[in-house]
């Protein structure tokens, strides 16, 4: 089928399926400027857009569009691969080669890889190229997201760069992008293109994935205050690394994650600006509480209107995220284009890992997590394709505590499949780097007791340690008469949810 004919065919399929943007067919050209911050790892160097930067070794070519790359070298000084993206290594950004402490040029030394991952934070991807086991590994939640195709012999930031045949049936069943927010369990809208999920390594010889990390045991014998201080120091270290090189931009909301980031950023306020998104209608609790914080602590702050968007904006967002993020997130990214593009955006993404986001008091300590329960906790509909994905994912796990399974699902299915590709939608900031991302941070947060996390103890202890006055401003609620009305409304909704929950089998 000719290129023009195929493109027209694909465009018809997309419209029929309700998908509102066109990914180029296999081998087609891709828009350059729109894909800033993205990458391609290929056997065929001709696949890389001509304006991109390329590096080649061991039969692989890495193409990048305004995305830093650091060389990996082993203990013998030989090339071992690449560290792609914006990693924070030992508390610093840099561009010098990175040592992978192994002398084996043939086999993948997982002890050396784990040692390096424990020292890394930020948004990155490892391309490891020992001759016998070339492998790709993601950061803590896949914040520099990746997809792969064994048929095309390609690993890429998004499906846009891979191209191929639309899975129109999946689009129709899920309702993406209009009614579905994201696609879990490694699904993409292109046949034969799979999302690489966090904690899984992609073997570039066999084109199979294998789990390489599991969460730690929950520790009731450790001081929660000491653990909270370790989280504070880890997040602060990442913010410090970025602030040493670039000015910062942070979101200010009524929530706990942005408050934790504010506490951790206290020493870098001279480098930081803050913003709050403003929608039409009555003033939101985000705006109200951000005004209180700004007034009390003299923060450099802007109110950013969520501006009207059109079909073209949605199509741009779908293209740059590879048809991975639907719902309303694209509206926020479009509005973020009003921000100072010279600043690095530090989002609060993954703060939920420290808040037992999927756990509920009364959950069993042990026992099987059903696919149906998993989907409910992830707030996904019980579609057959999702139930099958949940069943396969659960079956792949070793025996783990009930809560650990749910927490792991949040990282691998929500953060990895939604937040990771969603970061590509930010086309304005100098770059985007989530300070909560990091294996050491995840290990610390996931070892905290569930009840402590669920009671928001981490936010309280970090603020109390770093900036106790931040706790004088409430979280997520109005004050005064409006607060009383809102509290009554929340109580009524909670009762309704409880009634629905008890009437539904677990």
- Asked whether residue 68 falls in the same domain as residue 131, the answer is yes
Q: Say what the pLDDT of residue 482 is.
A: 55
Q: Note down the domain range covering 233.
A: 224-354+417-475
The residue ranking higher by pLDDT, 79 or 3, is 79
CATH number of the domain to which 33 belongs? 3.60.20
Closest CA to 254 of 471, 474, 468, 457: 474
Looking at the chain, how many residues does it have? 506
Alpha carbon of 470 to those of 193, 218, 269, 463, 465: distances in Å? Answer: 45, 28, 14, 6, 11
- What's the whole-number mean pLDDT along residues 267-286? 95
* Its pTM surpasses 0.85: yes
Q: Is residue 482 part of a domain?
A: no
Last residue of a domain, one of 211, 237, 262: 211
In sequence order, what are the beta bridge partners of 89? 92, 120
Which of 373, 395, 414 is at the close of a domain? Answer: 414
Q: 217-234, pLDDT tens digit by residue?
A: 999 999 999 999 999 999
Whether 235 and 287 share a structural domain: yes
Is the model's pLDDT at 20 over the cut of 50? no
- Give residue 501's pLDDT band: very low, low, confident or very high (50, 70, 90): very low
Q: Are residues 148 and 241 in the same domain?
A: no
Is residue 330 a part of any domain in this protein?
yes
Residue 178 has a pLDDT of: 81
- Mean pLDDT, rounded, for 236-261: 97
Q: To 5 degrees, how large is the angle CA 288–CA 292–CA 295? A: 135
**451-494 pLDDT, tens digit each:** 999 999 999 999 999 999 999 999 999 875 455 445 434 443 44
Tell whether 94 and 180 lie within a shared domain.
Answer: yes
- Is residue 217 in some structural domain? no
- Asked if 323 and 423 sit in the same domain, the reply is yes
pLDDT number for residue 301:
97
What integer pLDDT is reported at residue 13 of this predicted model?
Answer: 33
Same domain for 395 and 315: no
Name, of 316-330, 387-401, 481-495, the range with top average pLDDT: 387-401
Residue 218 falls inside a structural domain: no
CATH of residue 297: 3.40.50.620
Do 286 and 433 sit in the same domain of this protein? Answer: yes
Half-sphere exposure (CA, 13 Å, Cβ side) for 389? 24
Q: Are residues 95 and 179 in the same domain?
A: yes
Instruction: Please report whether residue 503 resides in a domain.
Output: no
Are 397 and 296 part of one and the same domain? no
Strands 248-251 and 194-195: unpaired
Looking at the structure of the chain, the number of domains it has is: 3
Render pLDDT for 21-66 as a digit per residue (tens, 0 to 9): 444 433 344 555 579 999 999 999 999 999 999 999 999 999 999 9
Same domain, 200 and 337: no
- The larger pLDDT score, comparing residue 452 to residue 326, is at 452
The pLDDT assigned to 337 comes to 83
Segment 390-401 shows an average pLDDT of: 97
Instruction: Find, among 108, 190, 110, 107, the residue nearest to 148 by Cα.
Output: 190
Over residues 147-185, the pLDDT tens digits come to: 999 999 999 999 999 989 999 999 999 999 888 889 999
């Amino acid at each position: 089928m000719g290129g023009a004919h195929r493109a027209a065919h694909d465009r018809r399929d997309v419209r029929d399926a309700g998908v509102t943007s066109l990914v180029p067919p296999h081998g087609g050209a891709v828009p350059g400027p729109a894909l800033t911050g993205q990458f391609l790892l290929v056997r065929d160097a001709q696949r890389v857009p001509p304006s991109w930067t390329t590096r080649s070794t061991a039969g692989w070519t890495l193409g990048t569009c305004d995305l830093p790359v650091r060389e990996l070298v082993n203990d013998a000084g030989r090339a071992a691969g690449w560290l792609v993206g914006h990693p924070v290594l030992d508390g610093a950004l840099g561009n010098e080669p990175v040592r992978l402490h192994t002398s084996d040029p043939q086999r993948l030394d997982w002890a050396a890889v784990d040692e390096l991952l424990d020292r890394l934070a930020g948004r990155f991807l490892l391309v490891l190229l020992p001759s016998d086991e070339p492998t790709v590994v993601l950061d803590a939640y896949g914040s520099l997201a990746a997809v792969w195709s064994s048929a095309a012999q390609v690993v890429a930031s998004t499906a846009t760069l891979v191209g191929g045949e639309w899975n129109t049936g999946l689009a129709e069943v899920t309702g993406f992008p209009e009614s579905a927010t994201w696609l879990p369990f490694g699904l993409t809208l292109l046949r034969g293109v799979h999302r690489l999920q966090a904690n899984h390594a992609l073997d570039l010889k066999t084109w199979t994935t294998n789990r390489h990390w599991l969460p730690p045991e929950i520790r009731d014998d450790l001081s929660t205050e000491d653990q909270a201080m370790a989280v504070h120091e880890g997040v602060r270290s990442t913010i410090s690394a970025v602030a040493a090189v670039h000015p910062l931009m942070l979101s200010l909301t009524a929530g706990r994650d942005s408050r934790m980031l504010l506490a951790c950023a206290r020493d870098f306020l001279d480098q930081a600006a803050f913003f709050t998104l403003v929608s039409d209608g009555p003033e939101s609790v985000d705006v109200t509480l951000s005004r209180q914080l700004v007034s009390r602590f003299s923060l450099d702050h802007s109110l950013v209107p969520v501006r009207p968007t059109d079909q073209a904006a949605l199509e741009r967002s779908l293209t740059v995220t590879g048809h991975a993020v639907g719902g309303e997130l694209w509206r926020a990214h479009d509005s973020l284009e009003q921000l100072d593009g010279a600043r690095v955006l530090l989002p609060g993404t993954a703060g939920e890992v420290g808040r037992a986001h999927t756990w509920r008091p009364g959950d069993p300590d042990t026992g099987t997590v059903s696919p149906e329960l998993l989907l409910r906790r992830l707030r996904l509909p019980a579609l057959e394709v999702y139930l099958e994905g949940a069943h396969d994912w659960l079956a792949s796990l070793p025996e783990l505590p009930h809560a650990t399974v749910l927490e792991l699902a949040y990282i691998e299915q929500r953060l990895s499949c939604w937040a990771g590709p969603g970061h590509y939608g930010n086309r304005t900031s100098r770059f985007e780097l989530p300070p909560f991302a990091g294996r050491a941070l995840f290990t610390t947060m996931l070892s905290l007791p569930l009840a402590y996390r669920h009671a928001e103890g981490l936010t309280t202890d970090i603020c109390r340690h770093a900036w106790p006055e931040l706790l004088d401003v409430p979280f997520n609620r109005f004050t005064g008469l409006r607060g009383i009305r809102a509290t009554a409304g929340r109580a009524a909704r909670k009762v309704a949810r409880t009634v629905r929950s008890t009437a539904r089998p677990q």
